[in-house]
Amino acid sequence: MSVEIDERTAQLLAERHFANEPAYDWAVKCLEAGFDSSSLRMLASMTAADSPSEIDNMVGRVFRENGWNEIDPYLYLMRYARTVAEGILSSKTDPIQGSHEIYRILRATDGHSELSAWWDIDEMISARDHFAKTGTTDYYYRGDAQLFAEIKNACADFLVRSRSSVGVLPETSFDEAEALFRRFLSENGHPPKLKWVFAEDVLLDGRSVIIRVPLPDENHARARECYELGIARNLGINIHGLCLSDGEICCYVQLPEDDVDAQYKLLDPKFVRFSVVIDPNEAIPCRSGIIWKFWKIKFSNKDTGYEGLIPSRKTLLPLTYKTQV
């Protein structure tokens, strides 16, 4: 089961998330947009003279009464980012102003899979500002025509990448999650065929991935068990595409370590998220046990950033987690 949120709701929730204005002014905008509840009207009547704690309590009540507390921030921020990107492409939104907004969303969501282009775009905009002040250029400087073209290309790419990226838990079974992930991959220009991998199957060096082949026949069943463990742990799930192998996407089930880790990864107990590496590389196959042992020794001291992400086939959780289930 996939998740949808309308444009106006997403924008209002994003504005509250970033606290663009006093909460009582935001409440007035909500009422003007057609939302109505007793708490919204009470919040709209408040002023700067009211205590911050009273205002915060009323905001919480507004979210509960309107059901907005049930919407994961990742959902409405990404939906709002789509609105901004669509505005840039249609020339309704200034590319620089819109990019500042998308960059805020990137930082808030850690949405590298969808919005990583804006790390460089933010540097380009800073270089543009520096050039306007000093007349000097650096590596990131682009003329306005080239900069705006790069922003629009990034917007178009993001609008493709961000389709069908969430399913509802616990209603979404493993089989349904696989189908949704295949659709997500297809809509983002990747092959919809899957190979499930675990920590014992892969070695990583930067963006290079070495895979021990053939993969065990049990991987699909263990991935199902990992997904079902994620539902039972009630901390959220992410299915992530890591690399390519013979025209198929190698993927794994990512489970957070605890509630704090789930919040850091912006995972929510109510949703399964789908993501994929930007421009996934073709994995290097390793069929020799001797060579595999050599590679394991060579990579044993490297910090790849994936140690706390890819589950073990034995425990169904990354081996770095203190608590194993």
pLDDT digits (tens, 9 = 90+) for 284-301: 999 999 999 998 888 777
Peptide linkage before 170 cis (omega within 30 of 0): yes
Domain-located, residue 310: no
Tell me the pLDDT band of 221, cut-offs 50, 70 and 90: very high
Domain-located, residue 312: no
| Residue 142, domain extent | 73-161
Domain-located, residue 193: yes
β-pair partners for 284 = 210
pLDDT digits (tens, 9 = 90+) for 146-196: 999 999 999 998 887 676 667 778 889 999 999 999 998 998 889 999 999
Please tell me the predicted confidence (pLDDT) of residue 167.
79
- Residue 317 CA to residue 253 CA, distance in Å, equals 9
Residue 97's closest CA among 127, 121, 131, 119?
Answer: 121
Domain stops at, among 146, 161, 176 = 161
Domain-located, residue 3: no
What is residue 188's three-state secondary structure? coil
User: Do 182 and 208 fall within a single domain?
Assistant: yes
Residue type, 163: R
pLDDT digits (tens, 9 = 90+) for 273-284: 898 887 899 999
pLDDT digits (tens, 9 = 90+) for 97-109: 999 999 999 999 8
Burial class (CB in 10 A: 0-12, 13-18, 19+), 217: exposed
Say how many Å lie between the first and final Cα of the chain, rounded: 27
Mean pLDDT of 246-261: 94
Residue type, 72: D
Domain-located, residue 284: yes
- Tokens 């421009």 map to which residue? 279
Distant-in-sequence contacts of 116-120, Cβ < 8 A, 24+ apart: 116/278, 117/154, 117/157, 117/158, 118/154
User: Do 95 and 107 fall within a single domain?
Assistant: yes
State the Cα angle at 95 between 94 and 100, rounded to 5°: 100
Please tell me the predicted confidence (pLDDT) of residue 56.
96
- Rounded to two decimals, what is the model's pTM? 0.62
Please tell me the predicted confidence (pLDDT) of residue 300.
74
User: Do 172 and 284 fall within a single domain?
Assistant: yes
User: Do 181 and 271 fall within a single domain?
Assistant: yes
Domain-located, residue 267: yes
Q: What is the mean pLDDT of the chain?
A: 91
Domain-located, residue 2: no
Residue 309's closest CA among 113, 152, 172?
Answer: 113
User: Do 105 and 142 fall within a single domain?
Assistant: yes
Please tell me the predicted confidence (pLDDT) of residue 305.
61
User: Do 280 and 172 fall within a single domain?
Assistant: yes
Number of domains into which the chain is organized: 3
State the Cα angle at 99 between 261 and 278, rounded to 5°: 55
User: Do 61 and 82 fall within a single domain?
Assistant: no
